[in-house]
A = this chain, B = another copy of it.
């Protein structure tokens, strides 16, 4: 059922098609994040209209509320949330390591307390696989250990700090690899004979499973992680543990090192990244799939991503600005509304501000991916890349 085909290449950039039990996804693809079964502030209708072909659901959140048992009884996540198109679920690992109140990791499993009500919960490679089997996503992720970021861009001595944190990174990478083997075994057990696990409802028999490469910013560790993960054998491979505070150049270097080590014929997914220029740069290094909360989270904070950079809508300079957020943008928001009106809605704390800004930001990401795919087909990706950087800046736009 699950297939991936690379249809065009341009340098290291690849265009392809992912075929899942719930439909096809053109790659490079950006997956809007629907943490609790809804992409915040937009409807499924808006999403489909924006051209989103796949969304991401968070295993940690859905497991805690409303519960994967309840979702399985409703027929799985697609049926429960009324989204008939592809869905990828993460393993819950990242949230356990970033959101949960208490956390105790052993080789066997991780114990933590729910951020909702403090209830004691357990996640293991097998349990994370079972939960996602009940959710019935099209792509499930293995549970990995996400070591805390050892440094941030603002730390002056990034490399030294990175070094001192490397023991944690090695331990987490090797444990993640052992967990990946257990997750794969459990996944194949459920696929081949689900009667051996009578407590687990397999809601999407065509589900695929991706492994995750860890290893921080150390290229040797990344190489080792790739080898261990490929050896197990997955339907696709993700690069995890990036976009956690390291400088972008370091992230780009790790991606450039890691992506070519992964099997050519399988999809490569960079988890949790990033700014629009990160997407362009990581496509250039061979990545096929992305997810990030940035377009929707920034929208709720009044930040619009535009060709020129970040537009902070509350700024007084926009109070009487009749231009759309992004001149030449074809999204619903830019076709109908002025910066002045959007600023008014944001300042008045109207929910519609979050909706209209999210619609624009998601369009910006999804349209960028469309243009990237077309450029790869026509062999003009490098031109798009350089044109993109000529106008886009991570800083606030001046206009």
Give the B-binding residues of A (Cβ under 8 A): 36-45, 65-66, 70, 73-74, 80-82, 319-320, 322, 332, 336-338, 340-341, 344-345, 347-348, 350-352, 354-356
Residues of B within 8 A of A81 (CB): 337, 341
Residues of B within 8 A of A80 (CB): 338, 340-341, 344
Closest residue of chain B to A45 (Cβ to Cβ) is B332
A344-B36, A345-B36 known; A354 vs B351 contact (CB < 8 Å): yes
6 interchain pairs (CB within 8 A)? A36-B350, A41-B351, A43-B352, A43-B356, A65-B347, A351-B355
Residues of B within 8 A of A44 (CB): 336
Copies of this subunit: 2
A65-B344, A70-B319, A322-B74 known; A42 vs B338 contact (CB < 8 Å): no
Q: Are A338 and B82 in contact (CB under 8 A)?
A: yes
Q: Are B344 and A66 in contact (CB under 8 A)?
A: yes
Task: For the complex of A and B, list the 3 residue pairs with the smallest distance between their C-beta atoms, beginning with the closest.
Answer: A38-B352, A82-B336, A66-B344
Residues of B within 8 A of A356 (CB): 43
Q: How far is the CA of A80 from the CA of B321 in the complex (A)?
A: 10
Q: How far is the CA of A334 from the CA of B71 in the complex (A)?
A: 19
Residues of B within 8 A of A340 (CB): 66, 70, 74, 80
Q: How far is the CA of A319 from the CA of B73 in the complex (A)?
A: 11
Residues of B within 8 A of A73 (CB): 320
**A180 → chain B closest CB, angstroms:** 30
Residues of B within 8 A of A350 (CB): 36, 38, 40
**A396 → chain B closest CB, angstroms:** 22
**A290 → chain B closest CB, angstroms:** 23
Q: How far is the CA of A38 from the CA of B385 in the complex (A)?
A: 38
Q: How far is the CA of A340 from the CA of B355 in the complex (A)?
A: 23
A37-B344, A336-B82 known; A42 vs B74 contact (CB < 8 Å): no
Q: How far is the CA of A163 from the CA of B341 in the complex (A)?
A: 46
